[in-house]
Structure 1
Amino acid sequence: MRVLVAEDHRLLAETIGTGLRREGMAVDVVTDGGEALHRLAATAYDVLVLDRGLPVVSGDDVCRQVGARGLPARVLMLTAAGTLTDRVAGLDLGADDYLTKPFDFPELVARVRALGRRSVAPVPPVLRIGDVELDPARRTITRSGRPVPLTAKEFTLLAYLMARPGRVVSTEELLDHVWDEAANPFTTTVKTTLGRLRAKLGPPPIITTIREGGYRAG
């Protein structure tokens, strides 16, 4: 899942970004509304975590532009104002969800994940390929009924491929949706992560490398 965090309080923005990355999400961070609109125009984000009080371009105007331009990002609006009137106003602007500061981080993660699921085509509640089962909601993966311990990034990578069984997924697509802008496209980060993932899953392999194409699950 690709997430953009637009929050003018730099420490809070970086804290949110770091926490979401630990959950396996690809996260970019900006601190003003103008930069948020620039990033949104260049990248198809799944979720936008948006502070209402942004400088340069307000969060309200960013939210309006997301709707007016038909951008794919689902909007989770953050604000220090927590009255019912404020929440209704935020939703009327086109936000998909609303969270008042201060908030509990697990709730933020849950809301971002819920919006991320709404931004893509529905997938089965449990993904299966052969004897491998992946439960996105419970964040569990088993093979032949035995748990397979994966890092957050390995889990996200496997979930992305298993949700597209039989389709060749390019390295560029994986970098766009599983990693964030900090990932160097000229490194072997995708290949290396897939190597660790295959080793943990064991034989027979469920992920095939397609020469000059990418990777296919199934």
Structure 2
Amino acid sequence: MSVVPHILVVDDHKEIRESVKRFLERSGMRATCAKDAREADERLSTGHFDLLVLDVMMPGESGLSLCRRLSVERDLPILMLTALGEETDRITGLETGADDYLAKPFNPRELLARIKAILRRSRQMEKHAGDFAGKRIRFGHLVFDVDKHVLVDEANNEIRLTSSDFKLLIILLKRTRLVLSREQLLEFTAGRSAGPLDRTIDNQISRLRRKIEVDVLRPKIIKTVRNEGYCLAVNIEVLE
């Protein structure tokens, strides 16, 4: 991560992206703007960024589509901006690999707090993942190649993980057999507290289960512990 975080702001509304850029720069960060997915790709091809602030609704390729593509192509934290009340967009954004979301209209201080939390967690995650650097981890019927962010099943099929999938799995692997509450998991992954109706972690767990469970309706790897949270319910083996 850069000493001074460099943020890419992608929004088709010039006033929003320029005001966010000015606010982030006044707050000690670097910021670059793009008006759509095509321009974002150009910026990403020529510069290094620590986080992407991405609007859902844009002309051309949507923010959700860009988020899905980037989550596979690169390890870049993404904060989605959604229309107020558009719960479907928020859930879909998390399912496509976003690390967090913020509803419009938003308070710039809240945006800054969310960005700082994601960056802080990304630094911590680099440290946690570093404990497994260069390793492959066997759990259940899968082998996890940490450096490649890839799972390999018994038929040798590869399953790529998004940035948020990777963070959540690392957290669970580091605490195998321990029950972690939704609040703990949200703090670990996004660095913020859960609201009363916040389903972020449930949605992320569901997405990860679709990639690692043989039967998502009867999960055996990530167990739900009623009224408590979630648990990685299998042993792990670190391979050479």
1:11 aligned residue: 15
1:149 aligned residue: none
Question: Would you say 1:28 and 2:29 are equivalent positions?
Answer: no
Is the alpha carbon distance of 1:121 and 1:44 closer, same or farther for their aligned partners in structure 2, counting shifts above 3 Å?
A: farther
Cα offset, 1:118, TM superposition: 2.8
1:144-178 Cα offsets, whole Å, 9 max, x none, are xxxxxxxxxxxxxxxxxxxxxxxxxxxxxxxxxxx
Cα offset, 1:68, TM superposition: 1.4
After TM superposition, the structure 1 stretch with the greater mean CA deviation from structure 2, 72-81 or 25-34, is 72-81
Aligned length: 123
Aligned counterparts, 1:48-87, within 5 A: 48-69=52-73, 71-87=74-90
Question: Would you say 1:107 and 2:110 are equivalent positions?
Answer: yes
CA RMSD of aligned residues (A): 2.0
Counterpart of 1:48, as a letter, is L
| Contact map agreement 1:9 1:31 (CA 8 A) in 2 | yes
| Contact map agreement 1:48 1:75 (CA 8 A) in 2 | yes
Determine helix, strand or coil for the equivalent of 1:73.
Answer: coil
Question: Would you say 1:46 and 2:41 are equivalent positions?
Answer: no
Cα offset, 1:42, TM superposition: 2.6
Q: Give TM-score, length-normalised by structure 2.
A: 0.48
Identity of aligned pairs, percent?
A: 42
| Contact map agreement 2:56 2:63 (CA 8 A) in 1 | yes
Determine helix, strand or coil for the equivalent of 1:120.
Answer: helix
Aligned counterparts, 1:1-218, within 5 A: 1-69=5-73, 71-120=74-123
| Contact map agreement 2:84 2:105 (CA 8 A) in 1 | no
Determine helix, strand or coil for the equivalent of 1:55.
Answer: coil
Determine helix, strand or coil for the equivalent of 2:54.
Answer: strand
Unaligned runs of 5+ in 2: 128-240
Counterpart of 1:114, as a letter, is A
Cα offset, 1:64, TM superposition: 1.0
Cα offset, 1:21, TM superposition: 0.4
